[in-house]
A and B are shown apart, each in its own frame.
Chain A
Amino acid sequence: MSAPRRRLPVLDAAADVGCTRREFLRGTAALAATAAVAGCSPEELLGKHFQELSPDQLARRIRRIERDASRRYGRTVAVSTAPARPGVVFGYGLDLSRCAGCRRCVYACVEENNASRGNPAVQWIKVLELDKAHGVDLAHATPYYGGEPVPRPGHFYMPAACQQCRKPACVKVCPAGATWKEPDGIVVVDYDWCIGCRCCMAACPYGARRFNWAQPEVPPEALNPTMHYLGNRPRRKSTVEKCTFCIQRVRDGRYPACVEVCPRGARKFGNLLDPGSEIRQIMDRKRVFILKAELGTAPQFYYFYG
């Protein structure tokens, strides 16, 4: 009485009895051809997910990336895979009463993170100009201000990048598992795993993700050779990228580039689990708020008035 096992029509009976020598050779040739069309090695096409790699496989993959990048840009690059430190959860503070909207952070970020210049121009930070009369109301915000010195009278400025949510909608929707939240709170993207579907961009309520519509343009002389696998290593066309709190710097103990460049000292960074850190002092003593709190995304990026 047992019903015959249903099969998907694409899987023929030969699939599960192993394959003949001829089929194997045909398959290998097809794979090589696919890889050639996709512009990557068969290893890249068949490799495991970053989080499942053995130390040996990881080392091999890093060597390949370093070799490719060094060849492409004619410079020696170093790609780190430094993991999250135990007991560290990063938090970011931004003082809205100090920010003048000068956009120094935007360009420091582009340089530090090897984002595309020219076309496409990929900028992880967007500085919004808001009306003082309306307060923090994104319906009255524009990133395209310019032409006169800042801060313009009657306006204040709110830089926004990835908010490193504790409940990231982008991670939830990714069909490929190419983006995830690290133990130190950084939401990362594996550019080799990203299929470019842009679901994450649609899901992100902060508009924080950027897409490489064309092959990124980074002048070789401007390349930052200190890289992290999950951060500023070179990207391909059709990959999504976003702020990583400068993962290549912060996992090394350094401040993010935007914090160091800010001429007004409006940007603050530290370990949320360390009661003495700058970010904790801010949360203890200032009134902080998170952007779009009603969505329940629980960002690790706090705005405050110093």
Chain B
Amino acid sequence: MSSLAHTARLAARTLEIAAAIAALAVGAARADGDSRSHGDTPAARKPPAEPSAELVQATPPPFSEGIFPCSQCHDGTGDPNPRELAFHDEIQARLTHGSPRHWCYHCHDLVDRDKVHVSSGELLPFTQSYLLCAQCHYDKYRDWQLGIHGKRVGMWDGAKTYHLCVNCHDPHAPRIERMEPMPPPTRPKETRR
């Protein structure tokens, strides 16, 4: 009788181990899939608005008043060489992003001025400029997609508004400026009695 019980226990244990191995294999396969999707595959290039209908893009990219579309002045021809600019000189003056190696056409497209381009040559609208930023700042891009970097407002369990990189960072001078703090709290000894 006891040997029968022992056999049954043994069988149950074997089944448990088999199940654990199967679970591990599934987990590994899933982890594999994850690492692939973090690579530079089309799946990873999707804007976050597509995988989840709950994400809503914030205000459009912050252009100066009346400056967009760029094609209202630029016809797609022009001098691609770095030089002192007569127009857009205020942008050139503050261009500290990767300076002095960066120049307008590293990001802006020479022919289609209403778009930016990534290193593959693919054109992107300004609303997807985060994919351009992600070429170098891929770690920030990953965190941003997960909601770790950047700011979201709305519902913690539902529709959220997300902000583009350029809603907070000036793409020409990305470091965020220091700001005035709001007033400090009252010290206990300053409290009126």
| Distance in Å: Cβ of B187 to nearest Cβ of chain A | 6
Complex CA–CA separation, A149 to B168 (angstroms)? 18
A260-B155 Cα distance, complex, nearest whole Å: 10
Query: Interface with A: B96-104, B113-121, B146-154, which one?
Result: B146-154
CB B99 to nearest CB in A, in angstroms, measures 22
Q: Which residue of A lies closest to B142 (CB)?
A: A285
Q: Which residues in A have their C-beta under 8 angstroms from that of B178?
A: 100, 149-151
Are the CB atoms of B156 and A107 closer together than 8 Å?
no
Interface residues of A in 165-224 (CB under 8 A from B): 213
Q: B181 contacts which of A102, A255, A306 (Cβ < 8 Å)?
A: A102
Q: Tell yes or no: B180 within 8 A of A by CB.
A: yes
Q: B148, A103: Cβ atoms under 8 Å?
A: no
Instruction: Given A265-B168, A268-B148, A285-B148, answer yes or no on A145-B191 (Cβ-Cβ < 8 Å).
Output: no
Contact of A265 with B149 at beta-carbon distance under 8 Å, contacts A119-B192, A255-B156, A271-B156 already known: yes
- Residues 130-165 of chain B: 1 if any A CB is under 8 Å from the residue's CB, otherwise 0? 000000000000010011111111111110000100
Q: Which of B159-182 contact A (CB under 8 A)?
A: 163, 168, 176, 178-182
Residues of B within 8 A of A271 (CB): 156-157
**Are A278 and B152 within 8 A (Cβ)?**
yes
Q: Using a CB-CB cutoff of 8 Å, which residues 104-162 of chain A contact chain B? A: 104, 106-107, 119-121, 123, 126, 143-146, 149-151
The reply to whether A253 and B156 contact each other, CB–CB distance below 8 Å, is yes
- Closest residue of chain A to B155, judged by CB? A253
Neighbouring A residues of B125 by C-beta, 8 Å: none
The distance in angstroms between the C-alpha atoms of A107 and B180, with both chains bound, is 14
Let me know if B183 is at the binding interface, CB within 8 A.
yes
A 92-108 to B, binary, CB cutoff 8 A, 1 in contact else 0: 00010000111110110
List the A side residues contacting B151 at CB < 8 Å. Answer: 262, 264-265
Do residues B182 and A107 form an inter-chain contact, with CB atoms below 8 A? yes
Residue of A nearest to B146 (CB): A281
Q: Contacts A278-B152, A281-B146; is A253 near B181 (CB within 8 Å)?
A: no
Instruction: Report which of A150, A263, A269 forms a contact with B156, defined as CB distance below 8 A.
Output: A269
Known contacts A104-B182, A144-B187, A282 near B155 by CB under 8 Å: no
Give the contact-size bracket for chain A.
35 or more
- In the complex, whether A286 has a CB less than 8 A from a CB of chain B is yes
Complex interface: chain A residues within 8 A of B150 (CB): 265
Instruction: Provide the bound-state CA to CA distance between A269 and B147, in Å.
Output: 10
B158 to A, closest residue via Cβ: A253
Q: Are B153 and A255 in contact (CB under 8 A)?
A: yes
Q: Is the CB of A306 within 8 A of B148?
A: yes
Task: Select the residue from B149, B168, B184, B186 with max chain A CB neighbours within 10 A.
Answer: B184
With A253-B155, A262-B151, A271-B157 as known contacts, state yes or no: A146 contacts B183, CB within 8 Å.
Answer: yes
Of A262, A264, A282, the contact of B148 (CB 8 Å cutoff) = A282
Q: When the two chains form their complex, are residues A306 and B156 in contact, meaning their CB atoms are under 8 A apart?
A: no
A191 and B183 alpha carbons, distance in the complex (Å): 28
Chain A residues within 8 Å of B143, by CB: 285, 306
Question: Once the chains bind, are A103 and B182 in contact (CB under 8 Å)?
Answer: yes
Q: A282 vs B187: C-alpha distance in the bound complex, in angstroms?
A: 35
Which residues from A are CB-within-8-Å of B148?
Answer: 95, 268, 278, 281-282, 285-286, 306
Complex interface: chain A residues within 8 A of B182 (CB): 102-104, 106-107
Contact between B176 and A264, CB atoms less than 8 A apart: yes
Say yes or no: is B42 at the interface (Cβ < 8 Å to chain A): no
Instruction: Return the chain A residue nearest B161 by Cβ.
Output: A260
Question: Is B180 in contact with A121, judged by CB distance below 8 angstroms?
Answer: no
Interface check B78, CB cutoff 8 A: no
What residues of B have a CB within 8 angstroms of the CB of A278 in the complex?
146-148, 152, 156
Interface residues of A (CB under 8 A from B): 95, 100-104, 106-107, 119-121, 123, 126, 143-146, 149-151, 213, 250, 253-255, 259-260, 262-265, 268-271, 277-278, 281-282, 285-286, 306
* Interface positions of B (Cβ within 8 A of A): 143, 146-158, 163, 168, 176, 178-187, 191-192
In the complex, besides A100-B176, A281-B147, 12 extra interface pairs with C-beta distance below 8 angstroms are: A102-B181, A103-B184, A106-B185, A123-B185, A143-B184, A149-B179, A263-B179, A265-B152, A265-B168, A269-B156, A271-B156, A285-B146
